[in-house]
Amino acid sequence: MPSMVHTLPASSTSDPSGAVACRPMAGTTHVFQAPKGTRDFPPDVMAVRRHIEQAWRSASIRHGFDEIDGPTFEHLDLYTVKSGDGIVSELFSFRRSGGDTDYALRPEFTPTLARMAAAKGKSLSIPTKWFAMPDLFRAERPQKGRLREHRQWNVDVLGVAGPEADAEVIAVAVAGLRGLGLGPDDIRVRISHRGAAAGMLTALGVPAERIADAFALVDRREKIPADAFATQASELGLDAAAVRRLDDIATCRRPASTPPTDLAEEHNLPPDSVADLTALSTELDRRGLLPFCDWDLGIVRGLAYYTGTVWEIHDAEGTFRAIAGGGRYDQLVELFGGPTVPACGFGMGDVVLALLLAKRSLLGDTTASLLPRPDVFLVSSGDEDAEALLVPMATSLRDLGLHTRHTWKATRNIGKQLKEAAANRARTAVILGDELKGGAVVVKDLDSGEQHDVPLADLPAWLPRRLAGADR
DSSP-based three-state secondary structure for 114: helix
Q: Is the dihedral of CA 461, 463, 467, 469 positive or negative?
A: positive
CB distance 313 to 176 below 8 Å: no
Q: Is the peptide bond before 9 cis (omega within 30 degrees of 0)?
A: no
Near ligand HAM by CB under 6 A: residue from 260, 308, 347, 374 = 347
Near ligand HAM by CB under 6 A: residue from 16, 163, 325, 338 = 325
> What residues numbered 291-310 form the site for ligand HAM, per CB under 6 A?
303
124 binds ligand HAM (CB under 6 A): no
Long-range contacts of 94-102 (CB under 8 A, 24+ apart): 94/5, 94/6, 94/7, 94/8, 95/5, 95/7, 97/7, 97/8, 97/9, 97/10, 101/75, 102/1, 102/2, 102/5, 102/75, 102/76, 102/77
Nearest C-alpha neighbor of 168 from the set 325, 332, 287, 293: 287
315 binds ligand HAM (CB under 6 A): no
110 binds ligand HAM (CB under 6 A): yes
Residues 43 and 369: their CA atoms lie apart, in Å, by: 11
Q: Is 294 left (phi over 0), alpha (psi -120 to 50) or beta?
A: beta
Residues 294 and 291: their CA atoms lie apart, in Å, by: 8
Q: How many residues bind ligand HAM (CB under 6 A)?
A: 24
176 binds ligand HAM (CB under 6 A): no
Closer by beta carbon to ligand HAM, 150 or else 190: 150
Listed ranges 144-152, 362-370, 401-409, 463-471: which one lies at the site for ligand HAM (CB under 6 A): 144-152
Listed ranges 58-66, 92-100, 107-115, 382-390: which one lies at the site for ligand HAM (CB under 6 A): 107-115
Residues 436 and 389: their CA atoms lie apart, in Å, by: 10
Q: What are phi and psi of 431, to 5 degrees?
A: -100, 120
Closer by beta carbon to ligand HAM, 352 or else 363: 352
351 binds ligand HAM (CB under 6 A): yes
Near ligand HAM by CB under 6 A: residue from 238, 274, 297, 352 = 352
147 binds ligand HAM (CB under 6 A): yes
Near ligand HAM by CB under 6 A: residue from 146, 178, 398, 405 = 146
168 binds ligand HAM (CB under 6 A): no
Closer by beta carbon to ligand HAM, 60 or else 428: 60
Q: Under the rule (CB under 6 A), what is the footprint of ligand HAM? A: 108-110, 138, 140, 146-147, 150, 152, 154, 156, 303, 322-326, 345-349, 351-352
